[in-house]
Amino acid sequence: MPRDTHTRQHQAYHRAREIASATADATDRLTADPSGAGSPFPELADPPGDYELSVWVTFNLDRYDRDDHGDWPPVIAGNYALACGREHGLWRLTTRPWLAHRDVGDLLGEPVITLSDQDTGLQPLTVLRALLGGRLT
């Protein structure tokens, strides 16, 4: 096996182990404090009863490496609406592309994430607070 191939495989193996370890650490931190009491954004603490939360996310990904032809890659931009909540002890999470705002409300695309009637696992607000606070990477 050529040395370059062996080195790349070795690096990929170690990177995969780092990612698995970081994921396990983030999960441990979340499950050790599921209420989020020790997290930033206390206003998003998981309430004891029913709730509804809507978040609009806008992102721009601007890459600084030229492509094979020497051209700059296009900026990738997106807008998403995230809705989560809990009713009668069951939580839900939906993420949809946000296409436009009209006088009658927001125009949303087909869901890219849909979870409904969940009664196990981390609550959506717990995961959101961890993400915003840099505890979930």
DSSP helix/strand/coil, 108: strand
Would you state the structure tokens that stand for residue 133, as one six-digit string?
A: 């606070």
**The pLDDT of residue 14:** 67
> To 10 degrees, the CA torsion angle through 125, 101, 116, 95?
-60
CB 119 within 8 A of CB 92: no
The yes-or-no verdict on residue 86 having pLDDT over 70 is yes
CB 35 within 8 A of CB 48: no
Average pLDDT, the chain: 75
**The pLDDT of residue 137:** 47
Would you state the structure tokens that stand for residue 94, as one six-digit string?
A: 């939906």
